[in-house]
Chain A
Amino acid sequence: MLPRKYIEGYLFFLLRHKGKVTAVITAVTIFFLYFMWNYMAVSTNFFDLYPPGHPYIQLYTKYRSMFGTANQLVIVVETPNGTIFDDPETFRKVDRITLDLLQSVPGVNGEQVLSVTHPKLKTTLTSGTGIKVVPLTYPRLPETKEDLAFMKMKVYTTEGIRGFFVSPNDKSTLIVAGFWEEYFDLPGMLKRVEEIVARESDGNHKIYVTGPPVLHANFMAVVPAMMWVLFASIATMIIILWFEFRSWQGVFIPILSGGLSAVWGLGFGGLFGLSLDPLVLVIPLLISARAHSHSVQSMERFHEEYEKLKDKDAAIVKSYTEIYAPAMVSIMADGLAILTLVVARIPIIQKLAILCSFWIVSIFVSVVTLHPIILSYVPAPKNLATHHGKNVFARAYDLFEKFLIWCSTSWRRQGMALILAVLLGVGFYYSHKVKTGDATPGKALLYDDHPHNVAFDFVNDNFVGASQLIVIAEGKKPEALKDPRALESLDLFSRWMKQSDETGAIGGSISATTMLKRIFRTFHEGDPKWEILPATADHVGQLFFLLTSNTARGEMDRFFDMSQTNATLTVFYKNYNHDVIKQSIAKAKEFIGSEVSADDPVRYLLAGGLIGILAATNEEVEWSYRVNLALILAVVFILSYLTYVSVIGAFIVMLPSLISQPLSEACMYWLGIDFNINSLPVAAVGIGIGIDYGYYVLSRIVEEYPKDRDFDKAIVRAYNTTGKTVLFTGLSLTASIIFWCFFPMKFQAQMALLLVILLAFHLIGALLFIPPMVSLLRPKFALQYADDHDRRILEEGIQESKEPTGGESLRPGGVG
């Protein structure tokens, strides 16, 4: 523990120079306020979501200009009362939407807009005398019944159209548009898309919109709603604080601390360009809660000491001297725990780690530095005993306390140790069942009935799938694709992926071979037996020539590049849960390992598309989480050891965290909460956020122990004082977070629920398990502390009061 003389020296310094310190803090706060106000942004940067060092992402970055970005907006036009081939107006609508996407929706990659009316979609026409490679809408957009019949024939006989762009039941057709990650105006895009949907919807046409761009845009759109929930949370905190302290100081000071930390944290983010994604806003909420928690702890302790000493300055020094060590160590534990997230090689997590760790460290200023100063300025609290005694919470706590004391004495201590072991076992068993990725396919962030998910389901039910895995066949020399072996291998790869699919998630696949075979068939009067790959390089070259000479530059990029060196294989998926992604990548690797030889003209590279990005992200999240846990445990252990200079002490204080983490993971499994890039920070910092409860409880027991050198009595006094505060803090935090559980967006609600669970486990763990374990293990560091304490008293000649801090029952020997 920190030497008392340093702590007292610091406190005296603060009180002596409170004007200057206040001025400095105010100046720094204004500085951060400026950057928060002007530069802090809540926005989505898609590249921040990708781990840049992962080979899949590097491949994606290298080739995305060729095969397109993974951020695809999908708009579906459905004709619920008929088919798309009944009325030419359907195709006119598709054409208008296609043009709008090309011309008036911000952020669209024009090369990546595709629909049945876009000239990029080609068909081959054959009859007795010739072959033509023409747009699907050739010779014109359907205007008559005959045109519609012709269109239907082309759709049915052109590979890569039915299932991909037209549903097999002919009732709907889709338009896709890719978005560059760097030039993304999410609100502008969403507004324009909503206008298009409103314009094109009518009694015969229903429009669905889905895909990552609109998903994230939806989150941006609810940021104002989040603010209202935030205000509701703050209001709840104020009410609870008033209920507890019954003084404006009791309300104002914790709120000021939380606000000041928020300004420092957000200002720091603005200063260094660390923006916040709407999906991780729950983390700052958690940090604000920590600031609030520390503030309440210190206020309670100040009130407690003031009640005893009746001297404001003495109470300030006494209370903050005692809580300084646990406050410092818990702030450091929280801050370092979240800072360890920088090992996660995903920018959004790293930025969050830096921003939030600074935010947490700012609590050192907003609470343990500023509080003594503020308290020295404001009038002393009045009638503390009166309203504490009448407090409903206090009366309820009395009952709970009796239970806690009962648990921490006699044979129940061994029983609690056993329960602890059982909980750990249960937690570890179920925590291993949690899988990285989205447990609910495609719907991790929004509820099932959200229009985005309704559209997502519609696409997956009626088309080959909304999500893609892209494999690159990279030529080992220029024009490698003209080697028939390259195309044959690509074709076999495509078939392998479809046939080895055990999840049933693959809806189809497409590559250059799909079109080349179709053209080869067309060369041979349409005989399906000629829908094969040519066996000679000459024939392959002819096919490439025919295809490229009938298309504009770049039109075939999604299948092969202009030099005919590199090609893609695109596999379409109807969902992308953990098993689907894992199995697909494994199957692709299996093919590459077993079916591709060293002298093949191409090498295969994994993996692009949304599935590739998610595979990379999931791998990073999985790795990061395990490494983070190890690091956080190490950091917390070291800090705990330094605090108590005892392995047993460190172990005891970490008990709440040790059981909370596996149990919270088990709860994620039971509740179906997705463990993905967005929940990683919450889950990872969960082990650190509640450590302060343990520090406050253990430190108080140790602090009380020297009075009569009886652990059981020290525990009773700790329960009566700090235990009560810890429970109040935990409950008030839960009350403030609970609003988010009812937030209309699934992810925010789930994360709030996860936070509530984490807080509850830490709280219960600190109160229920630390005291019995102290009583059971009788750690030597507490005995040493008592010896040091007595020696100090002796040296300083101060008569330590033996007066208990609680009621009658706390007299020495009062509790057995």
Chain B
Amino acid sequence: MGQEQRRRVNVCELRWLALGLVIAVLPVHAMAGARIVENLFGVIRAGTGPVFTVGQFGAAYRSDDGGVSWVAQKTPTTEDLFSVDFGDAEHGVIVGRSGVVLTTGDGGSTWEARKSPVVHNLFAVRFAGPKHVFAVGDWGTVIESSDSGASWKDRTLDEDVVLTSLSWPTPGFGVIAGEFGTVLVSHDAGASWQKQTTGTDKTLFGVDFRDEKTGWIVGMDGFIGGTQDGGVSWQAQRGSFEMQALETLGVMDAIQNPGFYDVAAAGKGAVVVGDLGHVLVSRDGVNWQVRRLPGERSLSWMRGVAAWSDGALVVGAGGLAIVLDDPELKIRKAVPAAP
């Protein structure tokens, strides 16, 4: 998500968080065309405009009504796509399996494959500035572009670590999260990265910062960590820092503490999504309330969340797309028109 957009989100009062969330299931919203059958991994809103989500088999969908209905976007690949972000209303980047990079310069109407400097999986992409964009992936992969993704430089780390997520609350401050409890912070627009001590070896799947001080990391076994000092120190807000085996946790604990896969800052708090139908909402950024998906989706996984001024969107398994809006958290499995 772009910096200006993020700022708008951060300063907005999210009424739906204040009012509390209700989870309701709505009938499947049907439109002419193919169904979304793919797993969806990433979601973002381009400024205040359309919402984009990406997933398996090169799938990309666009919604102009906040995720209620979707239109399939044609992409030049069948590789799995993991993450999408927009620097402004026109320029966006998608990254995916085996180093796939796609860009758009027309607000997502068309997507073009770009030459990637790596062949490793790229799991997350975020704009640091209007044209300055970073993507991270496995084998310590970090790539950087200064022209909205048209060309890339390989900035891969020396360390063999899976990097899963990154966040750019301001153009100069960025955070990367990954396995073994890895958190890397940059205060110089990505020119250098400093490893932070998180106190855990657990794989971290998501990171998001509201500003240069306040942020969250989420990971295995229901772990949520919070920081108020830019990642220098972390508090376990949910779960523990220690690795725990299934046999140690016990069955019920394992069910109630599944992996958390993504986090999005929203007002003073944040929204976390994860496995086994878990959606967690915090109004103060410290205390978390668990919302469970109802019915047949009660144990589905959700891999991406995007938040904006008056709502949020969650995507996940089997074309799952959940609109969180005021005052309800509604589930809509959107059905896009054919490309």
Minimum CB–CB distance from B250 to chain A (whole Å) comes to: 8
Question: How distant is the Cα of A525 from the Cα of B261 in the complex, in angstroms?
Answer: 11
Contact status A528-B41, CB under 8 Å = yes
The answer to the question of A150 belonging to the interface, with a C-beta cut-off of 8 Å to chain B, is: yes
Q: Which B-chain residue is minimally distant from A147 (CB atoms)?
A: B251
Residues of A contacting B162 with CB < 8 Å? 524
Q: Which A-chain residue is minimally distant from B250 (CB atoms)?
A: A146
User: What 0/1 readout, one digit per residue, does chain A (145-160) give for beta carbons within 8 Å of chain B?
Assistant: 0110110110011000
Contact status A129-B243, CB under 8 Å = yes
Residues of B contacting A146 with CB < 8 Å? 251-252
Contact status B221-A128, CB under 8 Å = yes
Residues of B contacting A526 with CB < 8 Å? 220, 258-259, 275
Residues of B contacting A527 with CB < 8 Å? 164, 203, 205, 259, 261
User: What 0/1 readout, one digit per residue, does chain B (33-58) give for beta carbons within 8 Å of chain A?
Assistant: 01101110100000000000000110
Minimum CB–CB distance from A247 to chain B (whole Å) comes to: 72
Question: How distant is the Cα of A348 from the Cα of B182 in the complex, in angstroms?
Answer: 68
Contact status A495-B56, CB under 8 Å = yes
Given contacts A492-B78, A526-B220, whether A498 and B37 have CB atoms under 8 Å apart is: yes
The answer to the question of B235 belonging to the interface, with a C-beta cut-off of 8 Å to chain A, is: no
B-contacting residues, A121-173, CB 8 Å: 125-130, 146-147, 149-150, 152-153, 156-157, 168-170
Question: How distant is the Cα of A499 from the Cα of B275 in the complex, in angstroms?
Answer: 26
| Most central of A126, A128, A168, A529 by chain B CB within 10 Å | A529
Contact status B299-A152, CB under 8 Å = yes
The answer to the question of A532 belonging to the interface, with a C-beta cut-off of 8 Å to chain B, is: yes
The answer to the question of B86 belonging to the interface, with a C-beta cut-off of 8 Å to chain A, is: no
The answer to the question of B303 belonging to the interface, with a C-beta cut-off of 8 Å to chain A, is: yes
Partner of A150, one of B80, B97, B247, B255: B255
Q: Which B-chain residue is minimally distant from A168 (CB atoms)?
A: B296
User: What 0/1 readout, one digit per residue, does chain B (185-220) give for beta carbons within 8 Å of chain A?
Assistant: 000000000000000001101000000000000001
Residues of A contacting B26 with CB < 8 Å? none
B-contacting residues, A488-534, CB 8 Å: 491-492, 495, 498-499, 524-529, 531-532
Question: How distant is the Cα of A153 from the Cα of B258 in the complex, in angstroms?
Answer: 10
The answer to the question of B337 belonging to the interface, with a C-beta cut-off of 8 Å to chain A, is: no
Interface size on B (CB < 8 Å)? 49
User: What 0/1 readout, one digit per residue, does chain B (286-300) give for beta carbons within 8 Å of chain A?
Assistant: 000000000110111
Q: Which A-chain residue is minimally distant from B82 (CB atoms)?
A: A529
The answer to the question of B134 belonging to the interface, with a C-beta cut-off of 8 Å to chain A, is: no
Q: Which B-chain residue is minimally distant from A502 (CB atoms)?
A: B34
Residues of B contacting A499 with CB < 8 Å? 34-35, 37
The answer to the question of A309 belonging to the interface, with a C-beta cut-off of 8 Å to chain B, is: no
Contact status B259-A495, CB under 8 Å = no
The answer to the question of A535 belonging to the interface, with a C-beta cut-off of 8 Å to chain B, is: yes
Contact status A532-B37, CB under 8 Å = no
Minimum CB–CB distance from B95 to chain A (whole Å) comes to: 11
| Most central of A126, A150, A157 by chain B CB within 10 Å | A157
Residues of A contacting B144 with CB < 8 Å? none
Q: Which B-chain residue is minimally distant from A491 (CB atoms)?
A: B57
Question: How distant is the Cα of A645 from the Cα of B107 in the complex, in angstroms?
Answer: 81
Q: Which A-chain residue is minimally distant from B252 (CB atoms)?
A: A146
The answer to the question of B140 belonging to the interface, with a C-beta cut-off of 8 Å to chain A, is: no
Residues of A contacting B205 with CB < 8 Å? 527
Partner of B98, one of A127, A491, A535: A535
Q: Which B-chain residue is minimally distant from A521 (CB atoms)?
A: B301
A-contacting residues, B213-264, CB 8 Å: 220-221, 243-249, 251-252, 254-255, 258-259, 261
Question: How distant is the Cα of A152 from the Cα of B41 in the complex, in angstroms?
Answer: 24
The answer to the question of B281 belonging to the interface, with a C-beta cut-off of 8 Å to chain A, is: no
Partner of A528, one of B119, B244, B301: B301
Given contacts A525-B203, A528-B317, A529-B164, whether A149 and B221 have CB atoms under 8 Å apart is: no
Q: Which A-chain residue is minimally distant from B246 (CB atoms)?
A: A127
The answer to the question of B123 belonging to the interface, with a C-beta cut-off of 8 Å to chain A, is: yes
Contact status A528-B261, CB under 8 Å = yes
Partner of A492, one of B57, B220, B244, B255: B57
Contact status B245-A156, CB under 8 Å = no
Minimum CB–CB distance from B122 to chain A (whole Å) comes to: 10
Residues of A contacting B121 with CB < 8 Å? 529, 532, 535
Question: How distant is the Cα of A528 from the Cα of B164 in the complex, in angstroms?
Answer: 11
Given contacts A153-B299, A528-B41, A535-B98, whether A127 and B252 have CB atoms under 8 Å apart is: no
Residues of B contacting A125 with CB < 8 Å? 246
Question: How distant is the Cα of A457 from the Cα of B326 in the complex, in angstroms?
Answer: 40
Question: How distant is the Cα of A529 from the Cα of B162 in the complex, in angstroms?
Answer: 12
Given A150-B252, A526-B275, A528-B275, 16 more pairs with CB closer than 8 A: A128-B243, A128-B248, A146-B252, A147-B251, A156-B298, A157-B299, A170-B296, A492-B57, A492-B78, A524-B203, A525-B259, A526-B259, A528-B261, A528-B303, A529-B164, A532-B121
10 contacts between A and B (CB under 8 A): A126-B246, A127-B245, A127-B247, A128-B245, A130-B245, A492-B57, A495-B57, A499-B37, A532-B97, A532-B121
Q: Pick the 6 closest A-B CB pairs, nearest first.
A: A156-B299, A128-B243, A127-B246, A150-B251, A129-B245, A168-B296
